[in-house]
Structure 1
Amino acid sequence: MGAKAALLAFSDGDLRAVLRDAVPSDVAAAEAVVREIFPGAEVTAAGDTTLEETYPPDRVTHVTVLPGATVLCDRQLVLDRPSEIPEHLLRIGAGRRIVMLGMHSVVDWLCFAVWENGRLIRSLGLSPDNGIEENIGDSFDFERPFWAGLHPVEPDPNWEDEDPYPLPFHPLQLGEEALNSLFGFTIEGALTPDSVLAEDVHMHTFRRS
């Protein structure tokens, strides 16, 4: 698996439906969001991209502002322990649903979290090196087969002395399910007829300094 993602979204309802119907957003509105998210930063427009680019370089933000949702891709916005989200982001998302999701294939790291009207209802952060760093709230339906042991990491037959994988499932496999359930698309997972086509979701790019 080579998936990487750094996503934060604010939505008024079903984010997946909004992304399926996405149209190009206004660049001025997008820049205003970046300035609000990163107060005091110098922000420079740097072209356009799509939601396929879920893991931009450091100090680069991709953003789209849609009717009913704002979605950002930025490494600084995802946390090992999502409950430590900065207070100003909760204020920005007041009255909306906030969704955070991060994955990094190099270290098999995953985090995701959902807030409803400012209340954290689910947060998970884990990796094989650090174990389960945060596990708050009831598991979502898409998680339950993983916690039930239905998706174990099978040992590599070419490594006779390999230690068992330290988690009951692979974080990136769960991450693809989380991405599909919460955002409506996947990076390496299979598409369905109602999947969001990430390459069709236009985003603006900004550099921060």
Structure 2
Amino acid sequence: MGAKTGLLAYAEGEIAQALRRASEPSTEETVTMIGRLYPGHHVERTDDSSLGEEIHPPEGITYAASLPGVDIVCDRRFMIDHPSRLPAHLIEASAGRRLVLHAMHSVVDWLAFAVWENGRLVRSLSLSPDSGILENIGRPFPFEAPYWAGEHPVDPDPSREDEEPYPLPFHPLELGEEALRALFGFVVEGMPGPDDVDPDDVGLCGFRLTESTGSEPADEKTDPEAAVRATEHS
């Protein structure tokens, strides 16, 4: 599996339903949203793209869309180890709406997702085989139940007799795909279902954001990203 995501959404109802009926995003409304979510940043427009292409955009680039019923933002800076520590202004922007964060990185088998309802955190999970469970807040969602029940174990490699058992009861990226479908209505790997959203049909506006006041949209650097950079330079 090679999936990577850095995704945040503000929704008035079901995200999947809003994405299914999505048309071209309003550039003016999207620019306004970006200014609200990234205070103190210089905003420069770049080429537009789609949700299917930019769910894990290049570093320093943000893709977003303000659509009827949902605002969606793709940015690596949302890939934080503890989703509950998402900056307050991003949570406050969800007043009256559902806020959903989804982040995963295939190189280190890391997954994190979180859901706030009208500003109140109801669920947050972050885990990887190397770090274990970093955060597990709130009651698991129904789609998680089979994974915690041991119905999706990671089978050992038969060619490696000395291999240690997988340290988690399931593979984080497998649950990550299930969470993406349950919360957003689509997957990035595997076979799409007949009712899944096609993320390539969801247009996004592109932005290059330059920090000007020292503020960041996330309070902490992501260990998965740091680990990948360290590997690339070793």
- Bigger mean CA deviation after superposition, 31-40 or 136-145: 31-40
Q: What corresponds to 1:108 in structure 2? A: 109
- Tell me the TM-score normalized by structure 1: 0.98
Give, in angstroms, the shift of residue 162 of structure 1. 1.1
- C-alpha distance in structure 2 between counterparts of 1:46 and 1:202, whole Å: 14
- Tell me the TM-score normalized by structure 2: 0.88
For residues 68-106 of structure 1, the C-alpha deviation after alignment (integer angstroms, 9 at most, x for no partner) is: 110000011232111111100111111110000001000
SS at match of 1:34: helix
1:184 maps to amino acid:
G
Give, in angstroms, the shift of residue 26 of structure 1. 1.4
1:118 maps to amino acid:
G
Q: What corresponds to 2:201 in structure 1? A: 200
- 2:179 pairs with 1:178: yes
RMSD of aligned C-alpha atoms? Answer: 0.8
**Unaligned stretches of 5+ in structure 1?**
none
Give, in angstroms, the shift of residue 168 of structure 1. 0.7
- C-alpha distance in structure 2 between counterparts of 1:192 and 1:21, whole Å: 17
Give, in angstroms, the shift of residue 161 of structure 1. 1.1
- C-alpha distance in structure 1 between counterparts of 2:75 and 2:34, whole Å: 10
Q: What corresponds to 1:48 in structure 2? A: 48
1:20 maps to amino acid:
R
SS at match of 1:19: helix
2:35 maps to amino acid:
R
Q: What corresponds to 1:8 in structure 2? A: 8
SS at match of 2:19: helix
For residues 162-195 of structure 1, the C-alpha deviation after alignment (integer angstroms, 9 at most, x for no partner) is: 1111111000000000000000000113211211
1:170 maps to amino acid:
H
SS at match of 1:143: helix
**Unaligned stretches of 5+ in structure 2?**
211-234
Q: What corresponds to 2:216 in structure 1? A: none
Give, in angstroms, the shift of residue 9 of structure 1. 0.2
2:30 maps to amino acid:
A
Please list every run of at least 4 consecutive aligned residues from structure 1 whose deviation after the TM superposition is greater than 2 angstroms: none
Q: What corresponds to 1:81 in structure 2? A: 82
Please tell me whether the aligned partners of residues 124 and 134 of structure 1 are also in contact (alpha carbons under 8 angstroms). Answer: yes
| Identity in percent | 53
Alignment of 1:15-34 (within 5 A): 15-34=15-34
